[in-house]
Amino acid sequence: MAANINSGSYDEGLCKEVSQALSAEGHEMARLIECPHEDLPDAATLRQAGVDALAVFGGDGTVNGAMRQAKGWDGHMLVLPGGTMNLLSRSLHGDVDSETIAQRYAQGRIKLARMPVAEGEGEIALVGVIAGPTTAWGEVREDMRHFNLAEMPGSIADAWTKTFGGAQVQLDGTGEPYPALFIEPKMDALHVTGFTAEGAGQMFAHGLSWLKGDFREGPHEDLGMREALEVSAADGKPVGLLIDGEEAEGSARCRFRHGLSPIDFVYTAEECLANPDL
């Protein structure tokens, strides 16, 4: 198991309980990797250890890093909710806790499948990509992660300023500018959402959605499905990005396409188990 001990949700006791639940059904944990102090295992390390499943207790960014590091390994990843928003865990398992997920896995109530991803700019996104000045809200998320309540008013005010004052971005073929675009991988294509920020009321709604744990609930417009797309900024400068919640910088014209993850993931949600397309 790999656990991000810097996560606001990290709980050493919970990690032990999950390990015990898996061990009781014959799934012995080889070792606990405490990141970021320890490196996430690569494919060679996992193969040498004879590991067929890598459980990751952390946020979406930690899971993304573990997947990229393990590329080329023929095992599967079990995502446990140990981050700030845990959007990936919710999509795989529903809104349930780590113990429930471990029990389902131990009992074989699972499906293994590659996840849809957004690929581009040298990145792979499992949850999605936020492109535009609204990526300043990543700083708010960091304060949430570390329970840095004293800094949150300042980071929220800064995010508002950058969102209203930054160069807006647009999706190729539309010409309509938005403070930010959200590119979310679905089973067959990329779903694109344009976030809106028309006045303080909508900006407050964005902040509230972050604090509630799902930025996707903020004011937005549905821009449809694309197999591939291009995003650019009005000022021609590199586009700011959040890849599964982690900051990155794109090019002046960011290109993304639909793809599949290089590793199988464990699905346990009932609706996922009943979906023959997974």
Convert the pLDDT of each residue in 167-183 to its tens digit: 788 999 887 888 888 99
Strand-strand pairing, 253-267 and 246-249: unpaired
pLDDT at residue 87 in the model = 84
Fill in the amino acid letter for 117: V
- Does this model's pTM top 0.85? My answer is no
Q: Tokens 């405490």 label which residue?
A: 34
By C-alpha distance, which of 63, 65, 118 is closest to 92? Answer: 63
| 21 φ/ψ angles, rounded to the nearest 5 degrees | -65, -40
Taking CA atoms, 181 is separated from 29, 175, 176, 238, in Å, by 40, 13, 11, 14
pLDDT of 180 reads 84
Q: Is the pLDDT of residue 235 over 90?
A: no
Of 110, 127, 109, residue with least CA distance to 118: 127
Which residue shows structure tokens 């073929």?
173
